[in-house]
Amino acid sequence: MPTPGLWQIGAQTQAVGLPLNLAPMAIEHCLTAEDARDPSRLLGRLSSPGATGCAYTNSAYAGSSFHFAMECAGIFAIKATGDVTFTATSLNGAIDSIATINGQAVDMRSTLTARRLGDCPAATPGH
């Protein structure tokens, strides 16, 4: 199970069969204890930027691995499957998805990496 704290998460997405290279995405996210118990809470954000109403249709944990299927609505209708492995301080995986863009189905593959940077910054009073 990932350890709560500040994580740096990166994703590189490529459209399969198209000369479309999307810029790598990198975010820092404070993983709560609740998030750490359920990595799927973090994966939806990474696997479906621009999508809303995401729901897992199938998910299974096996040791330090997580396999899932997900469907999303929003500006991109996305169907995705993915596999990730995680340790207390890292996460690696891949997500295969089909998004509908301008009425066309586009196959995409995202490679995910994440690492724990340390503790979350202390909250600033008033924030």
- Residue pLDDT tens, the chain, 127 long: 789 999 998 888 888 877 766 778 888 888 888 887 776 666 655 555 556 677 888 888 888 998 999 888 777 778 889 999 999 999 999 999 898 777 788 898 989 999 999 999 876 444 4
User: Considering its fold, how many domains does the chain have in total?
Assistant: 1
Across 74-113, b (16+ Cβ under 10 Å) vs e yields eebebbbbbebebeeeebebebebebeeeeeebebebebe
Question: Considering the domain boundaries, does residue 127 fall inside one?
Answer: no
Q: 85: closest CA among 107, 111, 108?
A: 111
What per-residue confidence (pLDDT) applies to 45? Answer: 54
Question: Considering the domain boundaries, does residue 61 fall inside one?
Answer: yes
Question: Considering the domain boundaries, does residue 9 fall inside one?
Answer: yes
What per-residue confidence (pLDDT) applies to 102? Answer: 77
Question: Considering the domain boundaries, does residue 83 fall inside one?
Answer: yes
Q: Can you give the residue range of the structural domain that contains 55?
A: 5-118
